[in-house]
C-alpha cells in the first residue's frame, strides 16, 4: 500500500522514484525505476530448472498478498511453456497460524506431486518450512524450489533537507520542471556491474543472472547459474557464446532432501493409499476381462488378458505401486454403463486408472490420458477361405506367369526354332524334307528344349551357340515356374474370398460388425448402408452368420478390432482368414486422469513388456486355444499377387537370347550371300528383284554337298551298298587306312574303312542285315583277292 502511494505521488509530481525493494510485477508507474529484480524475472529460471530434471508437475505455494499474487501469472506462463502442469495452487495468508499451515501441508502430502515452488515472505517462510520438516516433507522424494533475492554491499546516502515541521508545508509541493528530463537520463544509463549488464527498459532492470543455491542442514552451496543467454551454466563466463542449455549436467552435485544424491522423480503414491483401478464388467469376450463374484458376493476376482498385462506392467516399474481392482458394476453385478461412461468416471476423479479392452479414441483423449497401446492397432476384416474345389482352380497352372510372359515365351520358342532351321537346313538332313516335316521338326526341336529331350543334333557352330544360350534361358524359366507353382498349390487353401472393401459395397453384401464398439460408425462413414450391417456379440454367433451365407441373410465379411478378431481366429482359423487392417485405429490402452504423472512411467513399462517374452506368453495363454491355428493368423491378402512372375523379371534373359539369335542369323546370311555372289551377278540387269530373291532361295534350298556332314553321309551310303559299289564308282571319295598287320603279313594285306558318324534314323540307314541303326561304327576290311571279304 505504501509503495503504491509513493509511486502515485511520483507520477503526479513528475519526480522519478527509484526503488530497490519493490519487486512485485504488479507495481508500476511512469516515473518508477525498479532497480531490484522483478519477481517475474525468476519465472523463466525456475521453469528451466524444472525442465532440466524432467519433472512434469509442480505445485505453486504463494502468499496471499500483492507480493505473491503478482508473480503467479508469470510462473504459470513459464511453466506451461515447457510442458509443466500445475495441479494445485496453494495460497497462504500472511497471518496464518501454525495449525492452518499444518492443514495445508497435510493436504499437499495427499497429492502425488512432490515438486513445490515457494514464493512467500521470509517471516512466513521460517514457520512454513519448520512445520514442513515436522510433518516429514523434508524427507527423501520431495523437491523445494524457493525464490530468494539477496542484494548485498549496497549503501545509499542522501542529504537531508531543512524542512519546517509545519504540516502546511505540503502545499509547497510542486510539479518538478526537470523531472521528465531526469527520467530520460536515468533510462539511458548503461554500465557493466559485478552481476552483469545494468540497463533499464521501461523503468525495469532487465533480467540478469540468477545463482542456483543448494540449501540443506549444512548451509547453502552454489551449484550453478542461470543467464537469459546461456541458460544453466556451471560458472559465469561473459564471453560464453554457447547455445541455451537446459541440461542439469551443467549444475554441480546437489544434495536433495533426505541427504541423498539421487534425483527425485517428482511424484509418489501417497503412503497408505492404493490406486483405484476401474475395470469393465463384460458379458462377452471374457478372455479380455472376466469379473467373478464369490458365492456370498463378498469376494470379487478379476482376471483376463488385459488384467494380466496390467499386472505385468506394474511389476516392471522400478518401484512398488499398490492398487485395487474395482468393477464398474451395479449392486446386482451387472455392467454399470458403456465404455465412454467408464472413462468418464476417471475424468471425474472418482478412480485413478481404468483397465480393460478400452480403445484409444480421439474424443476420449480430450479429457483423459491414455498410455501407449499394449495391443495391435487397427480395425481388420475377416472373410471365409476360398473353396479349394472351385472350378477356377483347374487353371491354377497358368497363374505362376503373367499373360505377357506366357506370350513372350511362346514367341521366343517359335523364333528359336526358326533360327535353328535356317542355320541347319542346308547341311543337316534332319531339317530337310517336305515343308510340313520341316515345320514340325523345327517346332519339335525348339519346344523339346524345355525337357532337354531334343533328338535332332545340330552340326552348325552358329546353331550350337544359339541353342546353348536358349537352353540357359529355358532352364531359368522352368526352375522359376516350378517354384512359383509349388507356392501357389501350397497356399491356395488360405486364399480369402474377398480382399477389397469396395467390392463388398459394390456387390451389396451384408457385413458383420462388433457390437458396442466404434466399428459401426466407422463402417457407416466408409459408405456401407445401415441395412447391410449386422451386429455380432460372440464368436459363436459370428461363425453362424458366416455359415448362413448371403442366401440366408448371412454375411460375407466381418469387421472388428484386431484383438477380438484374433480371438475368433484362435477357434475357427481353418475356415477364415484375417485381411487388413482396413481402417487404422490405436488399439487398447490404460486410462489415467489428465496429467497423471504415472502415465509416462506406465507407457515406458508397456514398451519393455511388449519387447520381451512376457506378452507372448500372456497371448498364448488367453488367445491360442487351438495351437494349430496360431500359424494362420497373419495371412496376407496380397500374397497371391506376390507369387506371380512377370516379364519384368526375365526381360534381360530374353534380350540376351534375342541378340544372340539375331547375331547368328546376320552372320549366316552374310556368309551365304558372299559364297553365292555369282548367283546374284549372273542375272540380266533387267531381271526383277523378286526373280533374284527366288533364285537365291532356290540356291539356299539345295544341299551344301561340300560340307563334311554330307561327305560322311555319302561315304556311309557307299559302305551300306557293298564293296562292289565302292570299287565301281570312281567319283566316290573315301578314306582308307592300312591295317597294322598289313606290314607284318604282305600276303594278307587289307584295307580298313571306318565311318564314325552316327547316321540319322530318319534316313533309315541299314546295316548289312537290313536293320535300322542309330549309333554304329562301321568297319570294312578289303581282303586280298585270294580271300573272301569279311564285314563287321
pLDDT tens track for 721-735: 554 444 444 444 444
Do 544 and 636 reside in the same domain of the chain? Answer: yes
Same domain flag for 294 and 366? yes
- Whether residue 404 lies inside any domain: the answer is no
Question: 586-608: string of b/e by CB count within 10 Å (b at 16+)?
Answer: bbbbbbbbeebbbbbbbbebbee
Assess whether 542 and 500 both reside in one domain.
yes
3-state class (DSSP) for residue 144: strand
| Residue 384 belongs to some domain of the structure | no
Q: Mean pLDDT, to the nearest integer, of 1-23?
A: 63
Residue-wise pLDDT tens digits, 251-271:
999 999 988 888 898 888 776
Q: What is the mean pLDDT of residues 374-379?
A: 82
What is 414-465 written as a DSSP string? Answer: HHHHHHHHHHHTTT-GGG-SSHHHHHHHHHHHHHGGGTT---SPP--HHHHH
**Average pLDDT over every residue of 734-756:** 39
Q: What percent of the chain has pLDDT over 90?
A: 22
CATH number at residue 254: 3.40.50.2300
pLDDT of 747 over the 80 cut: no
720 and 772 housed in the same domain: yes
Residues 100 and 234 in one domain: yes
606 in a structural domain: no
According to the model, what pLDDT value does residue 674 have?
A: 85
565 and 521 in a common domain = yes
Residue 280's pLDDT is what?
Answer: 93
Torsion sign over Cα 606, 607, 608, 610:
positive
pLDDT (0 to 100) of residue 70: 76
Q: What is the pLDDT of residue 197?
A: 62
The predicted-structure confidence for 454-499, as pLDDT tens digits, reads as follows 777 888 889 889 999 999 999 999 988 888 888 777 665 556 777 7
Residues 479 and 501 in one domain: no
Least confident stretch, 75-89, 548-562, 712-726: 712-726
CATH at residue 344: 3.40.190.10
Number of domains in the chain: 6
Q: What is the pLDDT of residue 638?
A: 45
Out of 101-105, 639-643, 692-696, 761-765, give the one with best mean pLDDT: 101-105
Grid coordinates given for 643: 507369387
Contacts of 125 (CB under 8 A, 6+ apart): 118, 146
What string of DSSP letters covers 361-411? -TTGGGTEEE---SS--SEEEEEEBPPTT-GGGGGGGGTTB-HHHHHHHHH
Q: Is residue 749 part of a domain?
A: yes
Q: What is the mean pLDDT of residues 223-249?
A: 84
Which of these three, 621, 643, 665, is where a domain ends?
A: 643
Question: Considering the chain, what percentage of its residues have pLDDT values greater than 70?
Answer: 70
Neighbours of 56 (CB within 10 A): 20
Domain range for 766: 708-791
Domain end position, chosen among 483, 513, 530: 483
Are 634 and 769 part of one and the same domain? no
Q: What pLDDT does 4 receive?
A: 64
The phi, psi pair for 560, rounded to 5°, reads -175, 170
pLDDT at 72: 86
Q: Are 58 and 112 in contact (CB under 8 A)?
A: no
Task: Give the contacts of 210 (CB within 8 A, at least 6 positions apart).
Answer: 41, 42, 45, 225, 226
In a domain? residue 393:
no
For residue 783, the model assigns a pLDDT of: 40
In a domain, 599, yes or no: no
| Domain identity same for 351 and 451 | no
Residue 762 has pLDDT above 50, yes or no: no
**Tens digit of each residue's pLDDT (9 = 90 or more) over 604-657:** 999 999 988 899 899 888 887 555 554 444 444 445 555 678 888 888 889 999
pLDDT in tens, 30-63: 666 666 666 667 888 899 999 999 898 999 999 9
Of residues 327 and 438, the one with the higher pLDDT is 327
Give the chain's mean pLDDT: 77
Query: Final residue of a domain: which of 350, 374, 398?
Result: 374
Task: Give me the mean pLDDT over the 496-516 stretch.
Answer: 83
Q: Does residue 77 share a domain with residue 20?
A: no
pLDDT at residue 235 is higher than 80: yes
Are residue 293 and residue 431 in the same domain, yes or no?
no
Nearest C-alpha neighbor of 92 from the set 60, 70, 115: 60
| Residue 261 counted as domain residue | yes
Residue 670 belongs to a domain: no
Question: Do 218 and 132 belong together in one domain?
Answer: yes
519 closest CA partner among 540, 501, 500: 501
pTM (2 d.p.): 0.53
Amino acid at each position: 500500500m505504501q509503495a503504491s502511494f509513493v509511486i502515485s505521488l511520483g507520477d503526479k509530481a513528475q519526480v522519478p522514484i527509484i526503488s530497490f525493494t519493490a519487486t512485485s510485477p504488479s507495481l508500476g508507474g511512469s516515473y518508477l525505476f525498479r532497480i531490484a529484480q522483478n519477481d517475474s524475472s525468476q519465472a523463466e529460471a525456475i521453469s528451466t530448472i524444472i525442465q532440466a530434471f524432467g519433472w512434469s508437475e509442480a505445485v505453486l505455494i504463494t502468499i496471499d498478498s500483492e507480493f505473491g499474487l503478482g508473480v503467479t501469472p508469470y510462473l504459470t506462463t513459464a511453466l506451461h511453456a515447457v510442458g509443466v502442469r500445475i495441479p494445485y495452487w496453494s495460497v497462504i495468508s500472511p497471518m496464518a497460524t501454525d495449525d492452518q499451515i499444518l492443514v495445508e501441508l497435510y493436504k499437499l502430502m495427499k497429492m502425488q506431486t512432490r515438486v513445490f515452488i515457494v514464493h512467500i515472505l521470509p517471516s512466513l517462510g521460517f514457520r512454513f518450512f519448520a512445520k514442513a520438516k515436522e510433518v516429514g516433507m523434508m524427507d527423501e522424494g520431495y523437491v523445494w524450489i524457493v525464490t530468494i533475492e539477496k542484494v548485498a554491499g549496497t549503501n545509499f546516502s542522501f542529504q537531508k533537507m531543512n524542512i519546517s515541521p509545519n504540516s502546511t508545508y505540503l502545499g509547497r509541493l510542486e510539479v518538478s520542471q526537470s523531472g521528465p528530463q531526469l527520467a530520460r537520463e536515468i533510462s539511458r544509463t548503461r554500465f557493466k556491474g559485478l552481476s552483469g549488464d545494468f540497463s533499464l527498459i521501461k523503468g525495469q532492470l532487465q533480467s540478469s543472472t540468477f545463482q542456483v543455491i543448494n540449501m540443506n542442514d549444512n548451509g547453502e552451496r552454489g551449484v550453478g547459474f542461470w543467464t537469459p543467454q546461456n541458460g544453466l551454466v556451471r560458472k559465469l563466463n561473459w564471453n560464453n557464446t554457447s547455445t541455451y542449455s537446459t541440461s542439469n549436467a551443467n549444475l554441480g552435485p546437489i544434495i536433495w532432501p533426505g541427504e541423498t544424491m539421487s534425483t527425485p522423480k517428482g511424484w509418489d503414491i501417497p503412503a497408505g493409499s492404493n490406486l483405484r483401478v476401474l475395470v469393465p464388467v463384460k458379458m462377452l469376450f471374457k478372455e479380455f476381462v472376466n469379473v467373478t463374484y464369490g458365492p456370498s458376493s463378498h469376494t470379487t476376482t478379476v482376471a483376463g488378458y488385459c488384467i494380466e498385462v496390467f499386472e505385468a506392467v506394474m511389476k516392471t516399474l522400478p518401484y512398488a505401486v499398490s492398487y485395487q481392482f474395482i468393477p464398474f458394476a451395479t449392486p446386482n453385478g451387472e455392467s454399470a454403463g458403456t465404455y465412454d461412461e467408464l472413462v468418464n468416471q476417471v475424468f471425474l476423479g472418482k478412480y485413478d486408472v481404468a483397465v480393460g479392452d478400452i480403445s484409444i479414441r480421439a474424443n476420449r483423449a480430450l479429457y483423459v490420458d491414455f498410455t501407449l497401446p499394449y495391443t495391435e492397432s487397427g480395425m481388420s476384416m475377416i472373410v471365409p477361405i476360398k473353396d479349394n474345389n472351385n472350378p477356377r482352380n483347374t487353371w491354377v497352372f497358368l497363374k505362376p506367369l503373367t499373360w505377357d510372359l506366357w506370350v513372350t515365351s511362346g514367341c521366343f520358342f517359335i523364333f528359336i526354332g526358326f533360327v535353328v532351321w535356317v542355320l541347319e537346313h542346308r547341311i543337316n538332313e534332319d531339317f530337310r524334307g517336305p515343308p510340313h516335316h520341316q515345320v514340325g521338326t523345327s517346332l519339335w526341336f525348339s519346344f523339346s528344349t524345355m525337357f532337354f529331350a531334343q533328338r535332332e543334333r545340330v552340326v552348325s557352330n552358329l546353331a550350337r551357340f544359339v541353342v546353348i544360350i536358349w537352353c540357359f534361358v529355358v532352364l531359368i524359366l522352368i526352375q522359376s515356374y516350378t517354384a512359383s507353382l509349388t507356392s501357389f498349390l501350397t497356399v491356395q487353401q488360405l486364399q480369402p474370398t474377398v480382399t477389397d472393401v469396395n467390392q463388398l459395397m459394390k456387390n451389396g453384401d451384408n457385413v458383420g460388425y462388433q457390437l458396442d464398439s466404434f466399428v459401426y460408425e466407422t463402417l457407416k462413414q466408409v459408405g456401407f448402408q445401415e441395412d447391410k450391417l449386422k451386429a455380432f456379440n460372440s464368436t459363436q454367433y459370428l461363425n453362424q452368420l458366416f455359415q448362413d451365407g448371403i442366401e440366408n441373410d448371412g454375411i460375407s465379411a466381418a469387421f472388428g478390432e484386431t484383438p477380438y478378431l484374433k480371438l475368433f481366429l484362435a477357434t475357427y482359423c481353418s475356415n477364415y482368414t484375417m485381411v487388413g487392417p482396413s481402417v487404422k485405429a490405436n488399439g487398447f490402452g490404460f486410462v489415467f486422469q489428465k496429467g497423471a504423472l504415472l502415465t509416462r512411467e506406465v507407457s515406458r513399462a508397456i514398451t519393455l513388456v511388449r519387447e520381451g517374452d512376457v506378452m507372448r506368453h500372456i497371448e498364448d495363454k488367453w488367445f491360442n486355444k487351438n495351437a494349430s491355428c496360431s500359424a494362420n493368423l497373419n495371412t496376407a491378402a496380397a500374397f497371391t499377387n506376390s507369387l506371380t512372375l512377370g516379364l519384368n523379371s526375365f526381360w534381360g534373359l530374353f534380350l540376351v537370347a534375342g541378340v544372340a539369335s539375331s547375331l547368328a542369323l546376320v552372320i549366316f546370311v552374310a556368309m551365304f550371300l558372299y559364297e553365292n555372289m555369282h548367283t546374284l551377278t549372273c542375272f540380266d540387269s533387267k531381271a526383277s528383284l523378286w526373280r533374284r530373291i527366288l533364285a537365291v532361295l532356290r540356291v539356299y534350298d539345295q544341299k551344301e554337298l561340300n560340307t563334311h556332314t554330307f561327305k560322311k553321309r555319302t561315304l556311309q551310303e557307299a559302305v551300306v551298298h557293298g564293296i562292289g559299289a565302292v570299287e565301281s564308282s570312281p567319283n566316290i571319295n573315301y578314306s582308307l587306312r592300312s591295317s597294322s598287320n598289313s606290314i607284318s603279313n604282305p600276303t594278307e594285306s587289307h584295307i580298313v574303312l571306318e565311318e564314325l558318324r552316327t547316321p540319322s534314323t530318319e534316313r533309315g540307314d541299314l546295316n548289312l542285315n537290313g536293320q535300322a541303326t542309330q549309333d554304329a561304327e562301321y568297319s570294312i576290311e578289303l581282303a586280298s583277292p585270294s580271300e573272301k571279304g569279311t564285314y563287321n
